[in-house]
Amino acid sequence: MSNNSNVENLSPQVIRQIAKEMSELVSSPPEGIKVFINDEDITDIQAVIEGPAGTPYAGGSFRVKLVLGKDFPTGPPKGYFMTKIFHPNVAKNGEICVNTLKKDWKSELGLKHILLTVKCLLIVPNPESALNEEAGKLLLERYDDYCQRAKMMTEIHAHPPKFAKEGLEMDPTSSSVGTIFKGVGGPLAKKHATEKSKTLSDKKNLKLMKDKKRTLKRL
């Protein structure tokens, strides 16, 4: 069991409810959200949210974690982005500022509702309750710059590696860039991963240069 486990702080009834909700989320996941169950600690709630189309986060996979306090479900959980993201409502340490997790919280709101709210926040950020002031300011004053910065962060940190196509098994709970590969070792595997990483990096740089040229042409 993990050191941060809250199992001993929660009643058996609450644990059963969490287990039921998690099971439902896995069997019929909300669109663009994949939940992972930690068999050793049911209170370790992690999910990957796909960046919604039409947003600067499109194409990215963002790992989020919900931390349940000992007063859950009376008190709201805390939410964190484990994947780096440039967003007005996400602090540098990944903490998420969502009203549903604070003043609008009701004990009957489930885990699915929270994850959907976090996904909605990627579509409609709220600059008025900004935890990242720079992102909030850019969103309001220079929207194009905000989009470009958010897209760049998504490119760097939230794009899943292409290694999966090579038949390597990925640990889904690891962050997308520093992905941990199971059952892969030895200098050849590392060399191959490094070369692939360099190729991807070159492609990204080329794409960024093309994007910049397009932007300059528009100006």
Whether 163 is in a domain gets the answer: yes
Of 136, 110, 106, nearest in space to 121 by CA: 136
Q: Would you say residue 140 lies in a domain? A: no
Domain's final residue, options 68, 101, 133: 133
- In this structure, the answer to whether residues 118 and 159 fall within a common structural domain is no
With the CA atoms of 141, 147, 148 and 153 taken in that order, what torsion angle do they form, in degrees rounded to the nearest 10? 120
Q: Is 120 a catalytic residue?
A: no
172 and 105 both lie in a single domain: no
Q: In this structure, what CATH number is given to the domain that contains residue 27?
A: 3.10.110.10
DSSP codes, 171-186: -TTS-STTPPBTT--H
Among the options 97, 98, 115, 118, which is catalytic? 97
Q: Do residues 12 and 110 share a domain?
A: yes
Do 13 and 93 belong together in one domain?
yes
Nearest to 155 by CA among 210, 214, 96: 210
- Mark which of 133, 167, 201 sits at the end of a domain: 133
- Answer yes or no: is 204 within a domain: yes
Pair (56, 22) in one structural domain:
yes
Whole-number Å distance between alpha carbons of 47 and 65: 7
Per-residue CA distances from 94 to 122, 186, 208 (Å): 14, 33, 25
Q: State which residues form the domain around 201.
A: 146-218
Shared-domain flag, residues 36 and 120: yes
Q: Are 125 and 56 in contact (CB under 8 A)?
A: no
Structure-token pair, residue 10: 């929660």
Question: What tens-digit pLDDT sequence spans the chain (219 residues)?
Answer: 444 566 777 889 999 999 999 999 999 999 999 999 888 888 889 999 999 999 999 999 999 999 888 889 998 899 999 999 999 999 999 999 887 788 888 989 999 999 999 999 999 999 888 899 999 999 999 999 999 999 999 999 998 665 444 444 444 444 433 333 333 344 444 444 555 455 566 656 666 666 655 655 555
pTM of this structure: 0.70
**Count of domains forming the chain:** 2
Residue 44 lies in a domain: yes
Check whether residue 74 and residue 124 sit in a common domain.
yes
Backbone angles phi, psi at 24, to 5 degrees: -65, -40
Last residue of a domain, one of 99, 133, 167: 133
C-alpha–C-alpha distance, residues 201 and 87, integer Å: 23
Residue 187, pLDDT score: 46
In a domain, residue 141? The reply is no
* Token reading at 139: 């969103």
Query: Beta strand pairing status for 33-36 and 44-50?
Result: antiparallel
φ/ψ (deg, to 5) at 75: -100, 150
In a domain, 139, yes or no: no
If asked whether residues 121 and 177 sit together in one domain, one would say: no
CA distances, 147 to each of 93, 142, 144, 150, 185 (Å): 21, 9, 5, 5, 38
